[in-house]
Amino acid sequence: MAEFTGERLIPGEVDIDLLNEHMARYNFAARLTRGKRVLDAGCGAGYGSAELAHSAEHVTGIDIAAEAVEFARAHYERPNLTFEQASCTELPFGDGCFDLVVAFEVIEHLEDWKGFLREVRRVLAPAGQLIVSTPNKLYYTESRGAQGANPFHVHEFDFDEFARELKEVFPHVSMFLENHVEGVTFQPHERGYTVEARVDAAEPVPDESHFFVAVCAHRPQIGNPTFIYVPRTANVLRERERHIAKLEGELATKDQWLDKAQQDLAEFDREHQKLLAMFREQKEELERSNRWADELNAELAARRTRITELQEELARDQANTRTVAANYNAKIAALEQEGREKAQWAIDTETRLTAEIQKIAEVLSKRVTAHETTEAELLERTAWAQRLDRERRELEEQLTMVRASRWIKLGRRVGLGPAL
């Protein structure tokens, strides 16, 4: 469904004064549509095209927005009225196929507004006319105030620029100023009357006007009459009374809202004070926690430094221990080798002495036998035997010493050496 965006107007969804402002332009243009082929460029919701179709031969409404075209087709259906989706800067029509082009509140929305004017000139018949309107840049900027620039407008015009740019394309341009004015009407009870109007107003000032409306043509135009549009809702006093009553009702409602808002604000302030107190407590607690955390961080940093020192000290001790262990292992290996060599020496010595003792025992045995056999020989050799006996005792003493040697004992434990 189409919606009023602030730029595209939907009848029934906007303030009546705003609707009248737009309808006034179409009624202004309707005086020039009788029996003509009309193009409504930027037709929006289509209400204006439908108004022009009352007197025109045919009206074509175009808009760039598909939803606007769909809305117009659904709400305004007439035999001499069609709607198409198209761009105002690329009109899909042949040269000279329209007698009148209207473009209300469109040109300020276009990037290529100069291209739009050239396209309008192309599709207009030689005797054709363009009616184009735009808001007064000076008035519009002032009226928006703090709202700032209109985000939908690409280029806004003051009076002089608007007239100058139009005359660059169309040789003949008649400028009109559109404004809201107050008036008093005297209407006969019965319809069918003519209208007389007296305009008793100050000289119009372009810079103070709300909107500019221009009628442009290739050929000279005759007459520029003042046009007054009095809508059905133009009983200003009654409308103002209704508006005042509505505002009073809204004011009463807003007073209730204000009272409720003040109560809510008081409650909010109490809650705010509670939250503020809680915040202060939490802030103090957080500061204490932060100080404690800083102390822990400092202690942790000190302990990490000490751990690093201990790790370095342990690494040095481990290196020293490995060096000492290697030295001890080398020394033990040397001692073991020396022990094996000495044990072998003791074994060799014991074997040699045992062999010598056995030889001496054999010699002694032979000599004893000889002594027993021949006493004479014994007597002769007594001295020799005694000497041998002494030698035997000496050898036995040496053998005893050998047996008592720790190297012989060590050799026996490892399974080396003869049994003695």
Mean pLDDT, the chain cut into blocks of 10 residues (420 residues total): 54 73 90 96 95 97 96 96 96 97 95 96 97 89 65 90 96 90 68 67 76 94 69 54 66 82 85 88 88 89 90 88 85 86 85 86 79 68 78 80 72 65
Assigned domain for 137 exists: yes
Assigned domain for 331 exists: no
Taking the C-alpha atoms of residue 218 and residue 124, their distance in angstroms, rounded to an integer, is 9
Taking the C-alpha atoms of residue 83 and residue 71, their distance in angstroms, rounded to an integer, is 10
Q: Which of 214, 205, 211 is nearest to 179 (CA)?
A: 211
Token pair in block for residue 49: 């095209």
Tell me the residue type at 280. Answer: R
- Residue-wise pLDDT for 218-258, tens only, equals 999 876 666 666 666 554 545 555 556 666 776 788 788 88
Among residues 234, 255, 283, which one ends one of the domains?
Answer: 234
- Residue-wise pLDDT for 294-313, tens only, equals 998 998 899 999 999 989 98
Identify the burial level of 132 via C-beta atoms within 10 angstroms of its C-beta, where 0-12 means exposed, 13-18 middle and 19 or more buried. buried
Query: Is 230 in the same domain as 340?
Result: no
Give the total number of structural domains in the chain.
2
Core vs surface per residue 211-225: b (16+ CB within 10 A) or e: bbbbbbbbeeeeeee
Helix (H), strand (E) counts: the chain: 9, 7
Beta carbons of 79 and 98 less than 8 angstroms apart: no
Query: Is 342 in the same domain as 214?
Result: no
Which residues is 216 bridged to in the sheet? Answer: 130, 173
Rounded alpha-carbon distances, angstroms, from residue 402 to 280, 336, 358, 407, 409 = 98, 21, 16, 9, 9
Token pair in block for residue 145: 């105030």
Classify the phi-psi angles of 49: left when phi > 0, otherwise alpha if psi is within -120 to 50, otherwise beta: alpha
Taking the C-alpha atoms of residue 150 and residue 144, their distance in angstroms, rounded to an integer, is 8
Beta strand pairing status for 58-63 and 37-41? parallel
Token pair in block for residue 280: 């202060």
Assigned domain for 175 exists: yes
Beta carbons of 142 and 135 less than 8 angstroms apart: no
Q: How many CA atoms lie within 13 A of 262 on its CB side?
A: 5
Assigned domain for 6 exists: no
CATH number of the domain to which 222 belongs: 3.40.50.150
Query: Is 227 in the same domain as 345?
Result: no
Assigned domain for 252 exists: no
Assigned domain for 321 exists: no
Taking the C-alpha atoms of residue 108 and residue 150, their distance in angstroms, rounded to an integer, is 10
Among residues 209, 234, 259, which one ends one of the domains?
Answer: 234
Assigned domain for 88 exists: yes
Query: Is 208 in the same domain as 88?
Result: yes
Taking the C-alpha atoms of residue 233 and residue 242, their distance in angstroms, rounded to an integer, is 12
Q: Give the other-Cβ count within 10 Å of 93's Cβ.
A: 16
pLDDT reported for residue 97: 97
Taking the C-alpha atoms of residue 335 and residue 342, their distance in angstroms, rounded to an integer, is 10
Q: At what angle do helices 406-413 and 236-373 cross, to 10 degrees?
A: 120
Taking the C-alpha atoms of residue 89 and residue 96, their distance in angstroms, rounded to an integer, is 16
pTM of the full structure:
0.55
Beta carbons of 105 and 134 less than 8 angstroms apart: yes
Among residues 234, 268, 289, which one ends one of the domains?
Answer: 234
Assigned domain for 379 exists: yes
pLDDT reported for residue 329: 86
Query: 271-279: long-range contacts (C-beta < 8 A, 24 or more apart)?
Result: none
**Domain range for 40:** 16-234
Query: Is 222 in the same domain as 347?
Result: no
